[in-house]
Amino acid sequence: AMRATRGLHAKAAIPKSFLDTGAPLKVVFHRQRADEIPHTHAFHELVFVRSGRGCHVTEDGKAPIAGGDCFLIKPGLVHNYEEVAALEIVNVLYDLPGLALPLHDLAELPGYRAFFQTGPSLRGDFRSQNGVRLKGAEFAQIESRLALMRRFQERQDPGWRHALACE
């Protein structure tokens, strides 16, 4: 459940140039620090919590997160993390227009709308804490795919940008 916060203001803005891979997508595995300053960025950030726990803080409030949580941070949203304990996360950073993915009728699915779109019909947690908790086989499958994406990015074999975006 979200707990209200007041006065969260960005102290840093991360530009699209942070996606320095030569592709419109970057995968970053790291241990989240407790002393991170509130910030925004000019790209989408899909967060996958591998292990540990903490709180994700936005202008709308503070929400507890733990292993298996997956949520989306949209461009311009001020956020940071607090109360972290061994919080291992993977950030999939991407420039949505740069990906140029054909959506076809995907946007008609309720799950897509709840996760990727916001609007007046979505209240409370969905405004900034769009997400799901993955368990068991789903969790393992996502971890495996993220590791594969990291290998594409690190090795940079011919065709790696396409493979990274398609994975």
In order of 100, 109, 110, the CA distances from 105 in angstroms are: 15, 8, 11
pLDDT computed for residue 110 by the predictor: 64
- Residues 6 or more apart in contact with residue 157 via CB below 8 angstroms: none
Average pLDDT over residues 13-18: 66
- For 59-97, give the DSSP string: TTEEEEEETTEEEEE-TT--EEEEEEEEEEEEEEEE-HH
pLDDT computed for residue 31 by the predictor: 94
pLDDT computed for residue 68 by the predictor: 92
pLDDT computed for residue 81 by the predictor: 92
In order of 22, 44, 144, 150, the CA distances from 139 in angstroms are: 28, 21, 9, 17
Residue 53 in this model has a pLDDT that exceeds 90: yes
Average pLDDT over residues 15-28: 74
pLDDT computed for residue 89 by the predictor: 96
Go through the chain and tell me how many residues it has. Answer: 167
Range with the lowest mean pLDDT among 10-14, 33-37, 46-50, 127-131?
127-131
The residue among 119 and 45 whose pLDDT is bigger is 45
The answer to whether the pTM exceeds 0.95 is no
Question: Which amino acid is located at 41 in the chain?
Answer: H
Average pLDDT over residues 137-144: 91
Q: How far apart are the first and last CA of the chain?
A: 32
Most confident of 17-26, 100-109, 138-147: 138-147
Mean model confidence pLDDT for the chain: 78
Tell me if 146 sits within 8 A of 27, measured CB to CB. yes
Most confident of 24-33, 81-90, 100-109: 81-90
